[in-house]
Amino acid sequence: MTETKPYLCPKQSRMNFSDLGLSAPLLSAIEKAKYESPYPIQVEAIPALLQGKDVLGIAPTGSGKTASYILPILQLFQKKEPAINRIIPVLILVPTRELAVQVAEVANNFSRFLGRKVKTLAVFGGVSINPQMMSIYGTEIMIATPGRLLDLLSKNSMRLSEVEILVVDEADKVLSMGFKEEVDQILAELPKKRQNILFSATMEESVEVLINKLLHNPVKIEIEQDEIAPELITQSAYFVSNEKKGPLLRHLISTGDWKQVLVFTSSIRTADNLVVKLKKNGIEAVAFHGDKSQGARTEALSGFKAGRIRVLVATDLAARGIDIKFLPIVINFELPRSPKDYIHRIGRTGRAGSEGEAISLICEEDLHHFKVIQKKMGRRVEMINAEKLEF
């Protein structure tokens, strides 16, 4: 099993987008989207994909992986006639609704600058199936969570028998969420000859099984430690009793005059309780977790992004796949179970070259676990004894 290194922010590489084989309309779309130079994963993945090769990317969110496959796919369509049927040529499988929406945003963001627009559709569960079914006609890039895709297939609303490109994004998450069987059912619908792309933050056994099933002589891209700029995230911790975590959090928010804080809890109940307490103390906060409807989650996220909500209290559902530009502060109100999740959580800040701060509230019972996290991460985190502070 390969251990994930903390991935915090890609350094800009020296290559230019114009060195990667992208056409003039794409280069102009990239310029309009204000990407100055390609990230390392893009430098390697874009030429390989343009040559029709399979690609395996061991890279988490934040590496720029989405554009690394979306750009070559959009280029491919510039030479094709628009689709006038329900036969899907590009299928992108993702684990969550949030990632589906995010990938569609990236595709649309570039596509709107192109002479030949490419119809992209995100389909996911938790919302009514009918509008999605009615939008399928003419879709060229379908981004789907596995369960909803199978529902749509069972209603004969499209064909996957001519898929030319398959992307499995965050494959480790797709499998850890229990979608293995669904993925197998989907693969059975696809033609044998196609280009395959797989991204995963980690390489556990189940991912390797899928890789062997899916990829043929892939170009393997792994983001190395020296391509990471961890100095952009300042990590610190407060040693504090469980009962005083809430007051300390409120104290930190007000004294630091923080305007946008993402707080992680390990349970839905703690998240909800914390929101009640913060609101009682005049701090605008909203909970973001699996018990919330899709509508409530979208609203919470957009309110938070727009700065209307000061504190978003989330469970690990939000640790992956959510891209909030320039998020300055992440708080671990409770530690996550695995070091991997800790890295994903703090990776929500310090993105796209901006500076970030990650603070963990550690009580007596967390001490050992926090040591394990630091060891795995290969970094020591300074701890302040909050028991000595007045708040």
In the complex, the residues that contact ligand AMP under the rule CB under 6 A are: 35-36, 38-39, 42, 61-67, 323, 325, 351-352
Type of residue found at 85:
N
Q: Which is nearer to ligand AMP, 65 or 119 (CB)?
A: 65
Q: Which is nearer to ligand AMP, 62 or 356 (CB)?
A: 62
Q: Which is nearer to ligand AMP, 297 or 351 (CB)?
A: 351
Q: How far apart are CA 226 and CA 25, in angstroms?
A: 33
Minimal distance, residue 140 CB to ligand AMP, in Å: 20
Minimal distance, residue 124 CB to ligand AMP, in Å: 17
Minimal distance, residue 148 CB to ligand AMP, in Å: 21
Minimal distance, residue 60 CB to ligand AMP, in Å: 7
Nearest residue to 41 (alpha-carbon basis) of 18, 16, 13: 13
Minimal distance, residue 353 CB to ligand AMP, in Å: 8
Minimal distance, residue 39 CB to ligand AMP, in Å: 5
Minimal distance, residue 275 CB to ligand AMP, in Å: 27
Maximum pairwise Cα distance, the chain: 68
Minimal distance, residue 64 CB to ligand AMP, in Å: 3
Minimal distance, residue 106 CB to ligand AMP, in Å: 7
Q: Which is nearer to ligand AMP, 43 or 186 (CB)?
A: 43
User: Quick check: 214 and 357 in contact, CB under 8 A?
Assistant: no
Q: Which is nearer to ligand AMP, 220 or 305 (CB)?
A: 305
Q: Which is nearer to ligand AMP, 71 or 252 (CB)?
A: 71
3-state secondary structure the chain: CCCCCCCCCECCCCCCHHHCCCCHHHHHHHHHCCCCCCCHHHHHHHHHHHCCCCEEEECCCCCCHHHHHHHHHHHHHCCCCCCCCCECCEEEECCCHHHHHHHHHHHHHHHCCCCCCCCEEEECCCCCHHHHHHHCCCCCEEEECHHHHHHHHHCCCCECCCCCEEEECCHHHHHHCCCHHHHHHHHHHCCCCCEEEEEECCCCHHHHHHHHHHCCCCEEEECCHHHECHHHEEEEEEECCHHHHHHHHHHHHHHHCCCCEEEECCCHHHHHHHHHHHHHCCCCEEEECCCCCHHHHHHHHHHHHCCCCCEEEECHHHCCCCCCCCCCEEEECCCCCCHHHHHHHHCCCCCCCCCEEEEEEECHHHHHHHHHHHHHHCCCCEEEEHHHCCC
Q: Which is nearer to ligand AMP, 55 or 361 (CB)?
A: 55
Q: Which is nearer to ligand AMP, 63 or 75 (CB)?
A: 63
Q: Which is nearer to ligand AMP, 36 or 284 (CB)?
A: 36
